[in-house]
Amino acid sequence: MAEKQGFTSSFGAIAAAVGSAVGLGNIWRFPYICGQYGGGAFLLVYLIFVFLIGMLLMLSEFIIGRRSQHSPIFAYESLSPHKAWRYAGLLGLITCFLILGLYLVISGWTTNYVFDSITGHLAGLSPDQLDSHFASFSSSALRPIIFIAIFLALTALVIIGGVQKGIEKVSKILMPVLVVLLAILCVRSVTLPGASAGLEYLFRPDFSKLTGEGILAALGQALFSLSVGMGVMIVYGSYIPNNDNLLKTSLWITVCDTLIAILAGIAIFPAVFACGQDPAGGPGLVFKILPAVFNSMNPESGLPFGTIFASLFFILLTIAALTSSISLLEAQVAWGSEYHPKHRTRHTLILSAIVLAIAAFCSLSNGVLSHLKVAGSTIFDLIDHINSIYLPPLCALLTVLFTGWVMPKSDIRDELSNHGSLRISYFGIYYFIIRYIAPLALLVVLVTGIINSLH
Ligand code: PFF
């Protein structure tokens, strides 16, 4: 049997997991929902959820993964006397698969926008023209699927390269590149005249906009952004070196993920305000409003290099999406490798083909297949709905119940302390939150989500 591969160093493990966490969720989603639900007020609640629940959930997944040395289905099965727990792993895997289907659609858009901005296709278009450019592109049949396929091929190539020579190596290179690109864009954005209004929009707390819905969105966003709840971090946990301090690793990942989300807001909003665009652009902010912002940075307006900044931004977004989709696909491949460790390439190709079909379906439902409705929604919206309301909080709930109530407490202590060699004075707090607070919070999110969706 082939030797199970893991990450070679702490830095490699952190880079790969930060790669998974930092994605479209940070750069595309976080800024617009933060603006929508009251800026600094949302940020405050988000930070509480990220560090209190998200990070400890990540720690729990790392414990399950490293202790069992398995991917989710086998991990749950091997650590519990009740074999039915394997279905918790299966549910996570299904969730990853569906998320990947949608994620690829948006990643395909970002890859297309890299191409469009480098070749100058977006330059000079007015905001209205950019609007219709996006609408006609995203609803066309072939072009989005071609870009999804290009993006997926990149993802698959890295996975075929292996855990060390593919995922770890690529993450160690791409994550620093991402930080540098983001820093360049932040400096450009905050040095534009009138940028301070954007910073105010992002950070000034407006508690009147922070509704109950906003609080639920903050917890949902915290889980999505940290890639927790669906087993990806169980897989990465099984690759973490045995002598790594799991709390430190989780803390690093959480801090990096949160800082990058905030930096993305700093790169986007000041520029949006400085160029007189609408900050409440919602999901279309990145694809419709930002290109208009970059277009207004042309030499005549005294703000040079719009095309270059547009290209850098979409390259940044594509890199972020790539390392996340790698982790989503790796979760599936790791499961296949449990049966046939030598057939990594074959598993990757077969799973890629299946997920390409799902993504193509989702993409077509924005155009040619928009008439095809299930329960009144297009396929894209249906999968999005299932993926945001039901599956992630349910999977996350099962994970915390498993660590808090099923796994022996002594095993958890043993894993967190690296068999007694580390001091874990925080253990009592961790265990209390994972046993009581986190399940309660996740249950509230799940039940409220279900009730709201029935109305
Ligand atoms: N955390 C990623 C993002 O913020 O874009 C998305 C993601 C990746 C979610 C992997 C879940 C996952 F398992």
Q: Residue 372 burial by CB count (10 A; 0-12/13-18/19+): exposed, middle or buried? A: exposed
Best residue for ligand 1 mutational test, from 57, 93, 99, 109 (most atoms within 8 Å of Cβ): 99
Sign of CA dihedral 27, 32, 38, 39: positive
Q: Would you state the pLDDT for residue 1?
A: 44
For residue 13, the model assigns a pLDDT of 96
Confidence (pLDDT) at 272: 87
Please give the angle made by the CA atoms of 159, 224 and 451, to the nearest 5 degrees: 135
Could you identify the residue written with the tokens 């540098």?
A: 180
Q: Whose CA is nearest to atom 9 of ligand 1?
A: 227
Domain 10-454 has CATH 1.10.4160.10: yes
**Ligand 1 midpoint to CA 332 (Å):** 14
In the DSSP assignment, the letter for residue 288 is: I
Q: What are the average pLDDT values for consecutive 10-residue runs of the chain, which has 455 residues?
A: 79 96 93 86 94 97 97 96 94 94 96 94 88 92 97 98 94 93 90 90 88 88 95 97 96 97 92 82 81 78 75 93 97 94 94 96 90 83 82 95 96 96 96 97 91 81
- Do the Cβ atoms of 383 and 392 come closer than 8 Å? no
Minimum-distance ligand 1 atom for the alpha carbon of 24 = 5
pTM of the prediction?
A: 0.94
20 lines ligand 1 (CB under 6 A): yes
224 Cα–ligand 1 center, Å: 5
Report whether residue 225 contacts ligand 1, using a CB cutoff of 6 Å.
Answer: yes
- Please tell me the residue having the least CA distance from ligand 1 atom 7: 227
The dihedrals phi and psi of 7, each to the nearest 5 degrees, come to: -70, 150
CB 142 within 8 A of CB 135: no
For helices 306-339 and 169-190, angle between their N-to-C axes, nearest 10 degrees: 150
Measured in Å, residue 227 CA sits from the centre of ligand 1 at 4
Residue 303 is predicted with a pLDDT of 58
What pLDDT does 396 receive? 96
- Please report the pLDDT score of residue 299 as a whole number: 63
The pLDDT assigned to 369 comes to 87
Say yes or no: CB of residue 232 within 6 Å of ligand 1.
yes
Which residue puts its alpha carbon closest to atom 11 of ligand 1?
227
Cβ(327) – ligand 1 distance below 6 Å: yes
The rounded distance, in Å, linking the Cα atoms of 172 and 61 is 22
Would you state the pLDDT for residue 132? Answer: 92
User: 233 alpha carbon to ligand 1 midpoint, in Å?
Assistant: 10
Q: Collect all residues with Cβ–Cβ distance below 8 Å to 337 and sequence separation of at least 6.
A: 71, 343, 344, 347
CA–centroid distance, 23 to ligand 1, in Å, is: 6
Q: Which two tokens stand for residue 370?
A: 């928009």
- Cα–ligand 1 centroid distance for 398 (angstroms): 18
The pLDDT value given to residue 326: 97
CA of 110 to the centre of ligand 1 (A): 16
Predicted local distance difference test score (pLDDT) of residue 415: 97
Q: Where are the domains of the chain?
A: 10-454
